[in-house]
Amino acid sequence: MGERTTLRLSDERKHLLDQASDIVASDPSDDPPRSDVIDAALTHLIESHENLEDVRDKYPPGEVKDCCNTSVLQLRYRTSIEQRWR
């Protein structure tokens, strides 16, 4: 991935960052910097992927899908689990 110094924010991205900021904030008056919000979101994504990899052989695919299917980690079930990243 290339280095960038600017982040263009569409209305949808700004809305997602505002929602994530509310999750990361320690209380209603806290306004965390965007870098902290992005760091938290990236950490969550990486941990979710690692958690999915850890359980894929321990539980049936349907159970994993019910617990882990999100719009970011889309899971298709046939005889195995396939991941498709956006």
Find all residues with CB under 8 Å of 86, minimum gap 6, and list them.
72
Does the residue 59 lie in any domain? yes
Does the residue 9 lie in any domain? no
More confident of the two residues 72 and 43: 43
CA angle 37–43–49, rounded 5-degree value = 140
Domain boundaries, position 80? 15-22+31-84
pLDDT at 4 (0 to 100): 66
pLDDT at 62 (0 to 100): 75
pLDDT at 85 (0 to 100): 61
* Tally of domains within the chain: 1
Q: pLDDT for 16-64, tens place per residue?
A: 999 999 999 989 899 999 999 999 999 988 888 888 888 878 888 777 7
Chain centre to alpha carbon of residue 14: 16
Return d(Cα 12, Cα 2) in angstroms, integer: 23
- What pTM value is reported for the model? 0.67
Dig out the tokens for 83 from the structure. 């991941």
